[in-house]
Amino acid sequence: MAEKSVGIIGAGAWGTGFAQALARGNHKVQLWALEDEVVESINKEHENKKFLPGFKLHESMTCSKDIIEVATGKDFLVIASPSLYLKSTIEKIKDVPNLKDGSTVVLSLTKGFVPSDNGPKLVLETMEEALPECYKNKTVYVAGPSHAEEVAMGKLTGLVSASMNPKNSIRVRELMRVPGIVAYSSFDVIGVQICAAAKNVIAVVYGALDAIAETSDKFGDNTESLLLAAGLNEIMTLGFAVGATHAETFASISGVGDLDVTCKSKYGRNRRFGQDMIKTDLLSKFKDIDDLIANVGKIGYLPEGAIACKYIHQIAEKKELKLFICEGLYRILNKEMSPKDFLDVLTEQGRGGYIRRKKRLC
Catalytic: 279?
Answer: no
Catalytic, out of 4, 111, 138, 199: 199
* C-alpha span between 327 and 345 (Å, rounded): 12
* C-alpha span between 64 and 34 (Å, rounded): 9
288: Cβ contacts below 8 Å, ≥ 6 apart: 333, 334, 335
* C-alpha span between 64 and 241 (Å, rounded): 41
Chain-centre distance for alpha carbon 111: 3
The single-letter code of the amino acid at 113 is F
Q: What are the start-end ranges of the H helices in the chain?
A: 13-24, 36-45, 67-71, 86-91, 97-100, 123-130, 148-153, 166-175, 189-213, 221-242, 248-251, 258-264, 269-279, 289-294, 304-319, 324-333, 339-349, 353-361
105 neighbors 168 (Cβ within 8 angstroms): yes
Handedness of CA 32, 7, 124, 158 (dihedral sign): negative
* C-alpha span between 304 and 110 (Å, rounded): 10
Enter the DSSP assignment of 135.
G
State residue 112 phi and psi, 5-degree precision.
115, -165
Active-site annotation, residues: 199
